[in-house]
C-alpha cells in the first residue's frame, strides 16, 4: 500500500465526469480516479472547518467516536473489471468496503490518510510528468491544461485495460 495525496480535481472533457488525481507521497506516479458527482462536490469543498455547515459525511467521525472507535484512513484496494474497490480502515484494523468516491470524500473532508495498493499503481499508474509536464508546482491554469490534454486521450473504459489509466 502506497500513501498518496490529492493532486487535482478536474472534469473529464468528453465524459463530463469528475476525476480526482492521486499522486504518490514518496514517488512519481499518479492515478486518476473517476468520481460520482456528489462526492466530487464534497472533495471540491475540501477539508472540514469548524465554520462550515455540516455535510452528510461529517457525521461519520462523531458517530464513531461516540461508539469508541476511530477511522484511521482509507485505501483503494483493487482494480477489477475497470472499477476500483475501497475500504475504510478503522482502529484495530477493522475494514469496511465502501465505494471509492465515498471513501475519498470522507478522507478529504477529515484530512485522513489515503492509500493505493501497489498493484494498482503498477498496473495503471502514470508518471506525474506525463500528466503534468510542467510539474505540479506550475501555475494551476497550466496544470489544468496539461491534465485536460491527458484526459482527452482516455475514457472510463480505459480502466479495465492493462496499462490503462485508472477508474
Q: Profile the chain (167 residues) by mean pLDDT over runs of 10 residues.
A: 91 78 92 90 85 82 92 95 94 92 93 96 90 64 59 59 42
Residue 82 burial (10 A CB sphere; 0-12, 13-18, 19+): middle
Q: Indicate whether this model's pTM tops 0.75.
A: yes
- CATH number of the domain within which 17 lies: 3.10.690.10
Range of the domain at 80: 2-160
- Total count of domains within the chain: 1
**Cα–Cα distance between 124 and 108 in angstroms, integer?**
22
Specify if 98 maps to a domain: yes
Specify if 6 maps to a domain: yes
Amino acid at each position: 500500500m502506497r500513501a498518496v495525496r490529492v493532486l487535482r480535481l478536474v472534469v473529464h472533457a468528453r465524459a463530463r465526469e469528475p476525476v480526482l488525481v492521486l499522486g504518490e507521497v514518496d514517488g512519481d506516479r499518479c492515478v486518476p480516479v473517476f468520481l460520482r458527482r456528489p462526492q466530487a462536490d464534497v472533495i471540491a469543498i475540501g477539508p472540514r472547518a469548524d465554520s462550515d455547515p455540516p455535510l452528510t459525511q461529517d457525521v461519520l467521525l462523531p458517530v464513531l467516536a461516540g461508539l469508541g472507535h476511530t477511522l484511521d484512513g482509507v485505501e483503494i484496494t483493487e482494480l477489477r473489471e475497470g472499477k476500483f474497490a475501497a475500504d475504510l480502515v478503522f482502529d484495530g484494523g477493522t475494514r469496511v468496503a465502501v465505494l471509492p468516491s465515498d471513501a475519498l470524500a470522507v478522507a478529504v473532508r477529515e484530512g485522513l490518510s489515503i492509500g493505493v495498493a501497489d498493484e494498482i499503481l503498477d498496473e495503471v499508474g502514470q508518471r506525474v510528468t506525463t500528466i503534468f509536464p510542467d510539474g505540479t508546482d506550475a501555475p494551476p491554469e497550466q496544470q489544468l491544461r496539461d491534465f485536460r490534454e491527458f484526459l482527452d486521450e482516455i475514457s472510463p473504459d480505459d480502466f479495465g485495460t492493462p496499462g490503462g489509466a485508472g477508474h
